[in-house]
Amino acid sequence: MAKMQAAQIWKFGEPLRFVEVDIPTPRPDELLVKVGACGMCRSDYQQQHGYFEVALPSELPIIPGHEIAGHVVGKGSLVPDGLLEEGDLIAVDPGWGDGTCEQCVKGNTQLCTGDGRWLGFGPPGGYAEYVAVPYQHAIKVNPGEGQGPEFFAPLTDAGATPYRGIKKLVERGKFTAGHTVVVAGIGGLGSYAVQYARLFSGGADIVAFSRTQDKLDLALEYGADHAINTRDATPEQVQDQLEKFTGRRRVDAILDCAGGQDSLDIDFRILNSGSDVAQVGLMASNATLPVNLVVGTEQTWHGSFWSNHQDISEVLALAAAGKIHNTITPVKFEDVNENLEKVARGDVVGRQVIVFD
């Protein structure tokens, strides 16, 4: 059987191992995809170190990588003719539900309460030259000029996850003139989030929070009205900066792309009464909230997990139309381990993407 190169998690807390394994044979309802690019997510590092084992136990070894774009090179017998053909560029919706639970029926397969699967957390992922994908989770992309797999791969998580969170805040009516909207944490997700906040702004002030100046500079380039460095800052000091920029000490909506305790400590102490935090970042396993403040001022904390097929399709369409900017650092396959460490340290501006020749 033909072989391919792959990087696998063999033991938690250890570097990925580079191995030669069989190229997968697609099942009747699957496509065989030659991986053109795979985004490197902080959750890949967390997975490598066992962060998800309580909620999502793994059977090792496993090939990680869930942000995938590539070309169809084979298809099973049940893939409908004319839907997807060899040579098509596709991006992969990585949340594979069982198709029968209430959330799957609603289209939220990433929230499956049954026997759902997540690409790279069970089914072999994109830290490999080929991957097998159910055709229902492949989204055909019509690229614009100069747009290859490396442009679209990170949009399936880093690009789509904050999009879903922003939509939750838009639905709450906070994106109108006179309101202040914050994107907290300008990393792989936040650099996209400020762009969606601008697209949906409706005249609201968009403020970026980060602990790193070069990430704040990127946020301003991508559409934030103001940028505040929150490193070692107290909530009162952050409010001083908010008042300087917006004339207000409180904000009406926060998309938190960090998810650490430091970030949450600021969020709920600068949030206006009756206002909302949408949480997409997962830096902490547990966190504490000022319950008396949340209850006493009717603040709302929304969990927002990944994105569904429709969310990803919308993001890919926006990107193909040139309405989303990417900051991408290409990574060679053999350099994966050292670059995962960079992701963990927060040293990456934008998204690192493994690019296969």
Q: Which domain holds residue 64?
A: 3-157+307-355
Please state whether 274 falls in left (phi above 0), alpha (psi between -120 and 50) or beta: left
Same domain, yes or no, for 151 and 175? no
Res. 275 pLDDT band, cuts 50 70 90: very high
pLDDT at residue 281 in the model = 84
pLDDT at residue 286 in the model = 79
Same domain, yes or no, for 347 and 235? no
pLDDT at residue 244 in the model = 97
Q: Which of 303, 323, 343 is the last residue of a domain?
A: 303
Same domain, yes or no, for 259 and 198? yes
Q: Which residues pair with 96 in a beta bridge?
A: 117
- Of all residues in the chain, the percent with pLDDT exceeding 90 is 79
Q: Which residues pair with 9 in a beta bridge?
A: 62
Burial-class residue 192 by CB neighbours within 10 Å (0-12, 13-18, 19+).
buried
Instruction: Tell me the pLDDT tens digit for each residue of 72-115.
Output: 999 999 999 889 999 999 999 999 999 999 999 999 999 999 98
Cβ–Cβ under 8 Å, residues 55 and 76: no
Across the chain, the runs of DSSP E, i.e. the strands, are 3-8, 17-22, 30-39, 67-75, 89-92, 95-96, 117-118, 130-134, 138-140, 180-184, 205-210, 226-229, 251-256, 271-279, 300-303, 328-331, 351-355
Q: Is the pLDDT of residue 288 over 90?
A: no
pLDDT at residue 145 in the model = 85
Q: What are the residues whose beta carbons fall under 8 Å from the beta carbon of 51, sequence distance 6 or more?
A: 43, 285
Same domain, yes or no, for 202 and 249? yes
Q: Which amino acid is at 152?
A: F
Same domain, yes or no, for 112 and 182? no
Same domain, yes or no, for 140 and 245? no
pLDDT at residue 243 in the model = 97
Q: Is the pLDDT of residue 282 over 80?
A: no
Return the CATH number at 129.
3.90.180.10
Q: Which of 303, 321, 338 is the last residue of a domain?
A: 303
Q: Is the pLDDT of residue 285 over 80?
A: no
Helix, coil or strand: residue 20: strand
Helix (H) or strand (E) holding 345: helix 336-345
Total domain count, the chain: 2
- Of all residues in the chain, the percent with pLDDT exceeding 70 is 99
Same domain, yes or no, for 70 and 132? yes
Handedness of CA 315, 317, 323, 328 (dihedral sign): positive
pLDDT at residue 172 in the model = 92
pLDDT at residue 161 in the model = 95
Res. 71 pLDDT band, cuts 50 70 90: very high
More confident residue, 332 or 51: 332
| Residue count (the chain) | 357
Cβ–Cβ under 8 Å, residues 210 and 218: no
Whole-structure pTM value? 0.93
Instruction: Tell me the pLDDT tens digit for each residue of 234-244.
Output: 999 999 999 99
Q: What are the residues whose beta carbons fall under 8 Å from the beta carbon of 286, sequence distance 6 or more?
A: none
Same domain, yes or no, for 151 and 257? no
Res. 51 pLDDT band, cuts 50 70 90: confident
Helix, coil or strand: residue 196: helix
pLDDT at residue 30 in the model = 97
Instruction: Tell me the pLDDT tens digit for each residue of 145-190.
Output: 889 999 999 999 999 999 999 999 999 998 889 999 999 999 889 9
DSSP string, 201-263: -TT-EEEEEES-HHHHHHHHHTT-SEEEE-TT--HHHHHHHHHHHHS-S-EEEEEESS--HHH
Same domain, yes or no, for 7 and 88? yes
Helices first, then strands: H and E counts in the chain:
11, 17
Res. 20 pLDDT band, cuts 50 70 90: very high
pLDDT at residue 56 in the model = 77
Return the CATH number at 195.
3.40.50.720
Instruction: Tell me the pLDDT tens digit for each residue of 289-333.
Output: 888 888 999 999 999 998 999 999 999 999 999 999 888 999 999
Same domain, yes or no, for 60 and 87? yes
Same domain, yes or no, for 281 and 174? yes
Same domain, yes or no, for 52 and 196? no
Instruction: Tell me the pLDDT tens digit for each residue of 196-208.
Output: 999 998 899 999 9
